[in-house]
Structure 1
Amino acid sequence: MNGKKILFVSSELVPYLPENPVSLMSYEAPRMVNSNGGQIRIFMPRYGNINERRHQLHEVIRLSGMNLVINDMDMPLIIKVASIPRERIQVYFIDNDEYFKRKATFYDKEGNLFADNDERAIFFAKGVVETVKKLNWSPDIIHVHGWMASLLPLYLRKYYADEPLFADSKIVTSVYGRDFDGELNSEMIDKIAFDGIEKDGIEPLSRPDYNNLLKVAVNHSDAIILASEDISDDLKKYIENLQKPILPYVSLQEAEEAYTNFYKTEVLK
């Protein structure tokens, strides 16, 4: 991976949030690339339950300050950064008081999904791309982890289709086991269509449950990693029928060699 530039975009990441399959692999995959000579950038949302003082987050003024339009509303974009000390890895946080100040990730105190999780996902996808544009950093691979990041492939391929910075970037989506029950806001498909994205290409989002979010993500990806053993049969069959490069599930102990080989032989070929 020497010299290759990989952008990791994740819903969750240790040590900033509790360990689970998404947050752990979102840390391990960049660490592997970093230790093998690759250049990396990591992006995640700045949820309100991340302790900014303990993790030493600070705002990057030169990257903040723009507004993103979400469903005809102007929403300020704030960018913060922190470093994972033992790995010397820098992490960029996408922030907005309306979407991410609350002291939780995806659910309210009653255990219900936040009603605006759909808009948070749109804001996160746009925020990542706009920030990378400001950094003027052209990634060879963009690797997506977790459902809150699942709109990024769609927006890169449709909304930002003419952006030269990503013209040669390959998108990899890691698919995990079902991360939430129920559905996001039923108006999600209309909010995405507001950005000029044709509804024909996002038809699964007329019912925005976990599997359908991931179906839209893999539809707009170049390669797919099965990151869990418990992916639903429906989603697994859908992925296999796409006839795209697929890395079957491997354990964490096997991941470094498997991911590196997959990047080199299937994604960058």
Structure 2
Amino acid sequence: MESKRILYISQEIRPYLPESPISKPSLELPKKMNEAGHEVRVFMPRYGVINERRHQLHEVIRLSGMNIVINDMDQPLIIKVASVPQARLQVYFIDNEEYFKRKSTLINDKKELHPDNDERALFFAKSVIETVRKLGWKPDIIHVNGWFCSAVPMYLKKFNADDPHFSDAKIVYSLYNESFDGQLGPNLAAGMKFDGVEYPGFFNEPTFENLHKGALEYCDAVVKAHDEVPESLLEFAKEKDLPIFECIGEVDKPALKSFYENVVLEDVTA
């Protein structure tokens, strides 16, 4: 496969957060594609639990300073960056005092979802897209990891459908078994409505399963990244006639390259 531009978006990435079924492949996937000669960009939230001094995060002044509108409220966007040791890989961090300063990730010390995860997820999705646009970088493949990023595919295909930075990009969505009880708040759908986006009804009841289904509505391919992915989600992907690539455990670089080239980019390279 000739060199491509691949954008990776994840809710957690090792070594900035502990190793998990999401954080490990969220590093290994871009690392191996970077080693294969592709141009890679990686984005994640800058949670307050991330030690900025230890990981040498620093603000990217030329990218910071934008405001992201969430339900008629302007939220300042701060972009930080760090290099993954021994991987020749840079990670961009989406930061905001209101949403990401707290010393936790997506759950509090009582193992409960933060009540504003709906707004945080929307802010993260819109911020990544705006930052990539400001970089002037046009990805060929956008690979999304985790339910916290589930609004990204819809915003790319609906809200930014005519943007030349994204109009030709193929979207891959990885499915993990990182379930949670209950659902996010109403401001996820409210924010989409405020933006004038015709969003699927799944986002009106943003449960774990519905968030994934909302993302799958706008994807071009799916990665099964965990043994225990709910069968209902795999069936939904099959109903959408989405190609499914199984990538559990160690990332098989040749197989991943083949999937990107022969399945995801089939329409582009034909």
Q: Which residue in the other structure is 1:15 paired with?
A: 15
Q: Secondary structure at the match of 1:33?
A: helix
Q: Which residue in the other structure is 2:259 paired with?
A: 262
Deviations 1:80-118 (A, max 9, x none): 000002011000000000000000001112221001101
Supply the distance in 1 between the matched residues of 2:187 and 2:94 (Cα, whole angstroms).
Answer: 23
Q: Which residue in the other structure is 1:62 paired with?
A: 62
TM-score, structure 1 length as denominator?
A: 0.96
Preserved contact between residue 70 and residue 122 of structure 1 (Cα < 8 Å): yes
1:186 CA displacement: 3.2
Q: 1:234 pairs with 221, 232, 235, which one?
A: 232
1:40 CA displacement: 0.1
1:36 CA displacement: 0.8
- Counterparts of 1:166-245 in structure 2 under 5 Å? 166-198=166-198, 201-245=199-243
Q: Which residue in the other structure is 1:250 paired with?
A: 247
Preserved contact between residue 221 and residue 264 of structure 2 (Cα < 8 Å): yes
1:158 CA displacement: 1.0
Which moves more between the two structures, 117-126 or 251-260?
Answer: 251-260
Alignment of 1:144 onto 2:144: yes
Q: Secondary structure at the match of 1:158?
A: helix
Preserved contact between residue 70 and residue 119 of structure 2 (Cα < 8 Å): yes
Alignment of 1:4 onto 2:4: yes
Letter of the 1:265 partner, please give it. Answer: N
Supply the distance in 2 between the matched residues of 1:92 and 1:2 (Cα, whole angstroms).
Answer: 25
Q: Secondary structure at the match of 1:164?
A: coil
TM-score, structure 2 length as denominator?
A: 0.95
Taking a change above 3 Å as real, the CA distance of residues 4 and 164 of structure 1, as seen in their structure-2 partners, is same
- Counterparts of 1:77-88 in structure 2 under 5 Å? 77-88=77-88
Q: Secondary structure at the match of 2:234?
A: helix
Extract structure 1 runs of 4+ deviating beyond 6 A: none
Q: Which residue in the other structure is 1:91 paired with?
A: 91
Q: Secondary structure at the match of 1:183?
A: coil
For structure 2, the residue ranges without an aligned partner over 5 or more in a row are none
Deviations 1:206-232 (A, max 9, x none): 211111001011111111111111011
Supply the distance in 1 between the matched residues of 2:136 and 2:74 (Cα, whole angstroms).
Answer: 24
1:156 CA displacement: 0.6
Letter of the 2:183 partner, please give it. Answer: E
1:170 CA displacement: 0.6
Supply the distance in 1 between the matched residues of 2:154 and 2:197 (Cα, whole angstroms).
Answer: 9
Preserved contact between residue 22 and residue 145 of structure 2 (Cα < 8 Å): yes
Question: What root-mean-square deviation, in Å, do the aligned CA atoms of Structure 1 and Structure 2 show?
Answer: 1.2
Deviations 1:246-265 (A, max 9, x none): 11x23333532221110010
| Identical-residue share of aligned pairs (%) | 52
Q: How many residues of Structure 1 are paired with residues of Structure 2 in the alignment?
A: 266
Letter of the 1:234 partner, please give it. Answer: S
For structure 1, the residue ranges without an aligned partner over 5 or more in a row are none
Preserved contact between residue 122 and residue 188 of structure 2 (Cα < 8 Å): no
Supply the distance in 1 between the matched residues of 2:252 and 2:194 (Cα, whole angstroms).
Answer: 39
1:148 CA displacement: 1.1
Taking a change above 3 Å as real, the CA distance of residues 254 and 7 of structure 1, as seen in their structure-2 partners, is closer
Taking a change above 3 Å as real, the CA distance of residues 32 and 64 of structure 1, as seen in their structure-2 partners, is same
Preserved contact between residue 245 and residue 266 of structure 1 (Cα < 8 Å): yes
Letter of the 2:175 partner, please give it. Answer: V
Q: Secondary structure at the match of 1:30?
A: helix
Taking a change above 3 Å as real, the CA distance of residues 22 and 66 of structure 1, as seen in their structure-2 partners, is same
Supply the distance in 1 between the matched residues of 2:190 and 2:200 (Cα, whole angstroms).
Answer: 10
Preserved contact between residue 3 and residue 38 of structure 1 (Cα < 8 Å): yes
1:167 CA displacement: 1.4
Supply the distance in 2 between the matched residues of 1:128 and 1:187 (Cα, whole angstroms).
Answer: 19
- Counterparts of 1:108-123 in structure 2 under 5 Å? 108-123=108-123
Q: Secondary structure at the match of 1:74?
A: strand
1:233 CA displacement: 1.9
